[in-house]
Amino acid sequence: MVQRMFISNANQVITMAGHSDKPAKKEEMSKISIMEHGSIWIEDGRIVETGPDDELREKYKSQLEDAQQIDASGKIVTPGLIDPHTHLVHAGTRENEYAMRLKGKTYMEIMGAGGGIHATTRATQKASHEELYEESKKRLDKFLLHGVTTVEAKSGYGLTLEHELKQLEVAKQLQKDHSIDIISTFMGAHAVPMDEKDNPEKFVTRLIEEMIPEVAERKLAVFNDVFCERGVFTPKQSKRILEAGKKHGLIPKIHADEIEPYAGAELAAEVGAISADHLLKASDEGIKAMAERGVTGVLLPGTAFFLMAEFAPARKIIEAGVAIALSTDQNPGSSPTISLPFMMNLGCLKMEMTPEEVLTATTINAAHAIGCADEAGSLEAGKKADITIFDVPNYLTLSYQYGMNHVDTVIKAGKQVVAGGRLQ
Ligand SMILES: N=CN[C@@H](CCC(=O)O)C(=O)O
Ligand SMILES: [Zn+2]
């Protein structure tokens, strides 16, 4: 029997239509397609049609009785939000480092002394598959409650083949069990393990010769990411790692120019990365090269906020013609949050993005940054019915009332998974 759903009479349906073939750039980022008094007809988990409430009501009147009806009066409807950069699967927290940073220690100093990524690596190595699964599942539940229906998830706290595979296997299991879609990234190149600090080349070789082929062979990841930063991986090492991934079918991504300018944006363009993420310190040449090569910029304002750093120059990047997505960068060290709506607030207030641009950046452009724009990121016929309903009267209110969770309802592939702000 066909499963039907009718979401009716929303104050505004923000469809994001028209950007599925390529990410929205420059002024296209403001074209979010708003339908007043809009409704959506869904069958078997797919969007059949969006349109004015009275028209759809008339068209589907003979089937209305069989449909699950969701009244969105007074609310707004958007595509399910997409978080294109998370370190979802990890063990433990690092509030001790937060306290140290508040007293003046820097993120890189803490990492250099064996804390930071290394601290989470120790905790993650120690954790069993089941423990990691439970911790990560809780985070996914919170993502869902904040309106997110797809996340990218990186490994990178294992740093040995065994533990990297464990992280990726946890993500794979969660993809099967949880309603959020998870797209996995191998990030063995997140840090050089502490005990190999003096011989990073050996670790790079192991990444290239052992880990990447094994991850690819087991089909545990779509993307291959590198932390290209002074004191972590050089641009030269990063290039070798990303090129090796490409040979095994893994698409490059880069943590680029986060702490200092390090030619990460340039490298993203050179290797044809799908995205370059962070970009706080990206050079003008790097940004230009990204625009020419069509690399999406994933900006992580939560990280700048939490590290008390200067925010990425979003306006300059947008005006250069780079498509922008926004993400939480969910991780225990530099961005311990799951709130993509808060990233929208920060996008507007700290990076001079407009309310329209931040919506584009957390839906269709985020989908492009992780290669799922054919299925998600907009409310268009044929796409998965991944939908978020916010209890706000218009989309402007989402980036105006900050630090609040406005999510009322989440639909994942046509199934109501959050109702009245609670998990179903
Ligand atoms: N910068 C590198 N990786 C993460 C932080 C990871 C951590 O501190 O645990 C990031 O994207 O911010
Ligand atoms: Zn990250």
Tell me, using a 6 A CB cutoff, whether residue 116 lines ligand 1: yes
Give every CB contact of residue 267 below 8 A, 6+ residues apart in sequence: 228, 235, 238, 239, 242, 254, 256, 273
- Under the banding of pLDDT at 50, 70 and 90, the label for residue 89 is very high
Asked whether the beta carbons of 88 and 330 are under 8 A apart, the reply is yes
| 165-180 pLDDT, tens digit each | 999 999 999 999 999 9
Q: Can you tell me which atom of ligand 1 is nearest the CA of 258?
A: 1
Tell me, using a 6 A CB cutoff, whether residue 227 lines ligand 1: yes
Residue whose CB lies within 8 A of the most ligand 1 atoms, among 230, 254, 334, 335, for a mutation test: 334
What's the pLDDT at 189?
99
Structure tokens at 29: 């980022």
Q: DSSP secondary-structure letter at 319?
A: H
- Under the banding of pLDDT at 50, 70 and 90, the label for residue 23 is very high
What's the pLDDT at 210?
98
Residue whose CB lies within 8 A of the most ligand 1 atoms, among 83, 122, 228, 255, for a mutation test: 255
| 392-410 pLDDT, tens digit each | 999 999 989 999 999 999 9
Report d(CA 122, CA 118) in Å as an integer.
6
Mean pLDDT for 78-99 is 98
| 330-358 pLDDT, tens digit each | 999 999 999 999 999 999 999 999 999 99
Give every CB contact of residue 12 below 8 A, 6+ residues apart in sequence: 34, 35, 36, 38, 76, 77, 394, 395
Report d(CA 158, CA 84) in Å as an integer.
21
Helix-helix angle 264-271:235-247, to 10 degrees: 20
For the chain, which residues make up each domain, given as ranges? 4-80+376-423, 82-369
Give every CB contact of residue 280 below 8 A, 6+ residues apart in sequence: 257, 258, 259, 304, 309, 310, 311, 312
> Ligand 2 mean position to 330 CA, how many Å?
7
Strand partners, 50: 40
Give the angle 173-117-225 at the CA atoms, nearest 5°: 60
Q: Is 157 annotated as a binding residue?
A: yes
Q: Can you tell me which atom of ligand 1 is nearest the CA of 335?
A: 12
Tell me, which fold does domain 82-369 have in CATH? TIM Barrel (3.20.20)
- Report pTM: 0.98
Q: Which of 265, 344, 280 is nearest to 312 (CA)?
A: 280
Strand partners, 150: 82, 181
> Ligand 2 mean position to 156 CA, how many Å?
10
> Ligand 2 mean position to 340 CA, how many Å?
14
- Under the banding of pLDDT at 50, 70 and 90, the label for residue 226 is very high
What's the pLDDT at 31?
98
Counting residues of the chain whose pLDDT is more than 70, the rounded percentage is 100
> Ligand 1 mean position to 83 CA, how many Å?
15
Q: Say whether the ipTM exceeds 0.90.
A: yes
Could you count the other beta carbons within 10 Å of the beta carbon of residue 202? 11
What's the pLDDT at 54?
97
| 243-293 pLDDT, tens digit each | 999 999 999 999 999 999 999 999 999 999 999 999 999 999 999 999 999
Q: Is 129 annotated as a binding residue?
A: no
Tell me, using a 6 A CB cutoff, whether residue 238 lines ligand 1: no
Structure tokens at 183: 């797209």
Which ranges in 53-193 belong to alpha helices (H)? Answer: 53-59, 95-102, 107-112, 117-126, 129-145, 161-177
CATH of 4-80+376-423, one of 1.10.3720.10, 2.60.120.430, 2.30.40.10, 3.40.1710.10: 2.30.40.10
What's the pLDDT at 138?
98
Residue whose CB lies within 8 A of the most ligand 1 atoms, among 331, 335, 343, for a mutation test: 331
